[in-house]
Amino acid sequence: GVDVDGDVVMTYREAIVSATAPTRAVIIGGGAAGLEFAYVYNAYGAHVTVVEMEPRILPKEDAEVSAALTRSLKKQGIDFLTGSKVTGVERDGDGATVHVETPDERVSLHVDRVLVSIGIVPNTDGLGIEDAGGTLERGYVQVDGELRANGDGLFAIGDVAGTLPLAHVAQAQGAYIVERIAGEDPRPLDYQAMPRAVYTNPQVASMGLTEEEAGADGRQVKVGKFPFLASARALAAGASEGFAKVVVDASTGELLGAHLIGHDVTELLGELSLARIVEGTAFDVGAVVNAHPTLSEAVKEAALAAEGRAIHI
């Protein structure tokens, strides 16, 4: 465990309101939040090292996306220690020394900020959940598929419900519950269609299953990929880094997942999420006529590539 003091050793709660930027920082955790802070600190001129216990950053995202983001952030000056763990943090004056065990050696890094970004803890203490008939497990409210925490009007949404810990997911859950309470019949929530985003530069955007996850489910998949280097809009913007990638069921054409890295790719997931919600196929996405030149053409081309029908590559 690492003791958070809110001064040198912080979580995102303290870091996001800090009035100063570090000169040297260690980020513990290579997930979305850790990488976003690493990017920001680096942009302000700090020397940043990200320590991740898994073999790669963004371990739950597509492996190709993870590798591409690693290369890009390294070029920007961020260091990574993957497959590594922090064995201790010692406060030292206005800074701290972080001891790290890597696959090859033990290193000590002296920094003026340590950001702990290794997950969230649900803030359910003292809410009386169990008194109201709900059940807690590791602090999370146990809910059914309709977000009911008991049979008597208790619901839970957002991070405490243990689903995707994202603001837009909580908003969608809140709207769903309000409609249920009002007697409406809302569309069931499809968490596979909900977007995930990492606001580095380049951005990362994804939804649904990765190739690895689809394979673990026993599915045969096809993959379509289109590089932004072949996008006229990306070239015009001077932002040709990255690609759009879709994962498709090989037998049905069902869109199982989408994984993008590049300039403003978080804006491109809408049509893919919609295709997933309405049970559209890669063929359907490939039939969309996108304005030219736009970044969204890459989504169409990736879908066409999955069907062996790519036009511009």
The conformation of residue 45, written as its DSSP 8-state character, comes to T
Q: Is the pLDDT of residue 173 over 90?
A: yes
> Is 110 annotated as catalytic?
no
Q: How far apart are the first and last CA of the chain?
A: 49
pLDDT band for position 197 (50/70/90)?
very high
Q: What is the pLDDT of residue 152?
A: 80
| pLDDT tens by residue, 82-125 | 999 999 999 999 999 999 999 999 999 999 999 999 988 888 99
The conformation of residue 150, written as its DSSP 8-state character, comes to S
Mean pLDDT of 177-197: 94
What span, in angstroms and rounded, lies between the C-alpha atoms of 51 and 109? Answer: 11
Mean pLDDT of 133-150: 93
Burial class (CB in 10 A: 0-12, 13-18, 19+), 278: exposed
In order of their start, the domains of the chain are 9-116 (3.50.50.60), 136-191 (no CATH), 195-306 (3.30.390.30)
What is the DSSP track for 178-217? HHHHTT--PPPP-GGGS-EEE-SSSEEEEEE--HHHHHHT
Burial class (CB in 10 A: 0-12, 13-18, 19+), 104: exposed
pLDDT band for position 150 (50/70/90)?
confident
What span, in angstroms and rounded, lies between the C-alpha atoms of 191 and 169? Answer: 8
E-only strand ranges, the chain:
9-10, 24-28, 47-52, 79-82, 85-92, 95-101, 106-111, 113-116, 136-137, 140-141, 196-198, 203-208, 221-227, 242-249, 255-262
Mean pLDDT of 2-6: 91
| pLDDT tens by residue, 256-306 | 999 999 999 999 999 999 999 999 999 999 999 999 999 999 999 999 999
The catalytic residue among 47, 168, 292, 312 is 292
Which of 246, 305, 252, 302 lies closest to 273 in space, CA to CA? 246
- What residues contact residue 137 under an 8 Å CB cut-off, 6+ apart? none
Mean model confidence pLDDT for the chain: 95
- What residues contact residue 170 under an 8 Å CB cut-off, 6+ apart? 157, 158, 159
pTM (predicted TM-score): 0.93
Mean pLDDT of 169-189: 95
> Could you tell me what percent of the chain has a pLDDT over 90?
90
What span, in angstroms and rounded, lies between the C-alpha atoms of 55 and 170? Answer: 30
pLDDT band for position 49 (50/70/90)?
very high
Mean pLDDT of 210-224: 94
Q: What is the pLDDT of residue 236?
A: 96
| pLDDT tens by residue, 249-268 | 999 999 999 999 999 999 99
Q: Is the pLDDT of residue 1 over 80?
A: no
Q: What is the pLDDT of residue 76?
A: 98
Q: Is the pLDDT of residue 151 over 80?
A: no
Q: Is the pLDDT of residue 313 over 90?
A: no
Number of neighbours of residue 28 by Cβ within 10 angstroms? 23
